[in-house]
Chains A and B, each alone.
Chain A
Amino acid sequence: MGVVVKKVELSWLDRTYVWPVMKGMGITFNHFIKQLFTRTSKRYTIQYPDMKKEMPAGYRGLHELKRFEDGAIKCVACFMCAEACPARCISIEAEEFSDLNITQGFEEKRPQVFKIDMLRCIYCGMCEEACPKDAIWLRNDYEVAAYDRLSMQYGKWDLMNTYAEADGKERITQDPMPSAPRRAIAM
Chain B
Amino acid sequence: MDTLASLLHMSPAVAWMVVKIVIVFSAVMILASVWTWVERRGSAMIQDRIGPNRAAIFGRIRIIGLQQLLADGIKFFFKEDLAPTDANKALFWLAPFLAFVPALMGFAVIPFGRSFTSGGHVYHLSVLDPGNGMGMLYPLAIGGLAVYGVLVAAWSSNNKWAILGGMRSSAAMVSYEIGMSLSVVALFMTTGGYDPSEIIAAQGHLPWHWNVVPHFLGFIVFFTCMFAETNRLPFDFAEGESEIVAGFNTEYGSMKFSLLALAEYAHLMTASALIATLYFGGWQVPFVANPTVALSITSFVLKLVFFAWVFVWIRWTLPRFRYDQLMHLGWKVMLPLSMVNLVFHAWRMSQGH
A43 at the interface (CB under 8 A from B): yes
What residues of B have a CB within 8 angstroms of the CB of A18 in the complex? 220
B48 touches A28 (CB 8 A): no
What residues of B have a CB within 8 angstroms of the CB of A34 in the complex? 48
Encode contact with A along B16-60: 1 for CB under 8 Å, 0 otherwise. 000000000000000000000000001011111110000000000
Encode contact with B along A1-36: 1 for CB under 8 Å, 0 otherwise. 000000000000000001001001101110110111
Bound-state CA distance A24–B318 (Å) is 8
What residues of A have a CB within 8 angstroms of the CB of B47 in the complex? 31
Known: A24-B318, A25-B317, A47-B50. A32 touches B45 (CB 8 A): yes
Bound-state CA distance A40–B49 (Å) is 11
What residues of A have a CB within 8 angstroms of the CB of B313 in the complex? 25, 28-29, 32
Known: A18-B220, A21-B317. A28 touches B46 (CB 8 A): yes
A147 at the interface (CB under 8 A from B): no
A45 at the interface (CB under 8 A from B): yes
Give the number of chain B interface residues (Cβ < 8 Å).
Answer: 14
What residues of B have a CB within 8 angstroms of the CB of A35 in the complex? 44-46, 48-49
Q: Which of A139-177 touch B at CB < 8 Å?
A: none
Bound-state CA distance A45–B45 (Å) is 11
What residues of B have a CB within 8 angstroms of the CB of A44 in the complex? 48-49
Q: Nearest CB to that of A22 among chain B residues?
A: B317
Bound-state CA distance A58–B46 (Å) is 34
- Distance from A108 Cβ to chain B, minimum over Cβ atoms (Å): 53
Bound-state CA distance A40–B45 (Å) is 12
Known: A21-B318, A28-B317. A45 touches B49 (CB 8 A): yes
What residues of A have a CB within 8 angstroms of the CB of B50 in the complex? 40, 43, 45, 47
B316 at the interface (CB under 8 A from A): yes
B314 at the interface (CB under 8 A from A): yes
**Residue of A18, A27, A31, A44 ringed by the most chain B CB atoms within 10 A:** A31
Bound-state CA distance A36–B41 (Å) is 10
Bound-state CA distance A44–B50 (Å) is 9
Contact pick for A31, options B48, B220, B314, CB 8 Å: B48
Contact pick for A32, options B46, B220, B314, B318, CB 8 Å: B46
Give the number of chain A interface residues (Cβ < 8 Å).
Answer: 17
A36 touches B45 (CB 8 A): yes
Bound-state CA distance A49–B47 (Å) is 22
What residues of A have a CB within 8 angstroms of the CB of B314 in the complex? 21, 25
- Distance from A181 Cβ to chain B, minimum over Cβ atoms (Å): 57
What residues of A have a CB within 8 angstroms of the CB of B317 in the complex? 21, 24-25, 27-28
What residues of B have a CB within 8 angstroms of the CB of A43 in the complex? 48, 50
Bound-state CA distance A36–B42 (Å) is 9
A31 touches B318 (CB 8 A): no
B49 touches A28 (CB 8 A): no
What residues of B have a CB within 8 angstroms of the CB of A28 in the complex? 46, 313, 316-317
Contact pick for B46, options A31, A40, A45, CB 8 Å: A31
Bound-state CA distance A44–B47 (Å) is 11
- Distance from A24 Cβ to chain B, minimum over Cβ atoms (Å): 5
What residues of A have a CB within 8 angstroms of the CB of B220 in the complex? 18
Bound-state CA distance A27–B316 (Å) is 11
- Distance from B114 Cβ to chain A, minimum over Cβ atoms (Å): 32
What residues of B have a CB within 8 angstroms of the CB of A36 in the complex? 45
Q: Which of A31-79 touch B at CB < 8 Å?
A: 31-32, 34-36, 40, 43-45, 47
Bound-state CA distance A18–B50 (Å) is 29
Bound-state CA distance A27–B48 (Å) is 12
- Distance from A52 Cβ to chain B, minimum over Cβ atoms (Å): 16
Bound-state CA distance A28–B48 (Å) is 10
**Residue of A21, A29, A32 ringed by the most chain B CB atoms within 10 A:** A32
- Distance from A38 Cβ to chain B, minimum over Cβ atoms (Å): 9
- Distance from A33 Cβ to chain B, minimum over Cβ atoms (Å): 8
Bound-state CA distance A40–B62 (Å) is 15
- Distance from A126 Cβ to chain B, minimum over Cβ atoms (Å): 37
What residues of A have a CB within 8 angstroms of the CB of B316 in the complex? 28
Known: A21-B318, A25-B313. A31 touches B45 (CB 8 A): yes
26 contacts between A and B (CB under 8 A): A21-B314, A21-B317, A24-B317, A25-B313, A25-B314, A25-B317, A27-B317, A28-B313, A28-B317, A29-B46, A31-B48, A32-B42, A32-B45, A32-B46, A32-B313, A34-B48, A35-B45, A35-B46, A35-B49, A36-B45, A40-B50, A43-B50, A44-B48, A45-B49, A45-B50, A47-B50
Q: 8 tightest A-B contacts by CB? A: A35-B45, A28-B317, A24-B317, A28-B46, A32-B45, A45-B50, A32-B46, A25-B317
In addition to A21-B314, A31-B46, A44-B48, 18 A-B residue pairs with Cβ atoms within 8 Å of each other are A21-B318, A24-B318, A25-B314, A25-B317, A27-B317, A28-B46, A28-B313, A28-B316, A28-B317, A31-B45, A31-B48, A32-B45, A35-B44, A35-B46, A35-B48, A36-B45, A43-B50, A44-B49
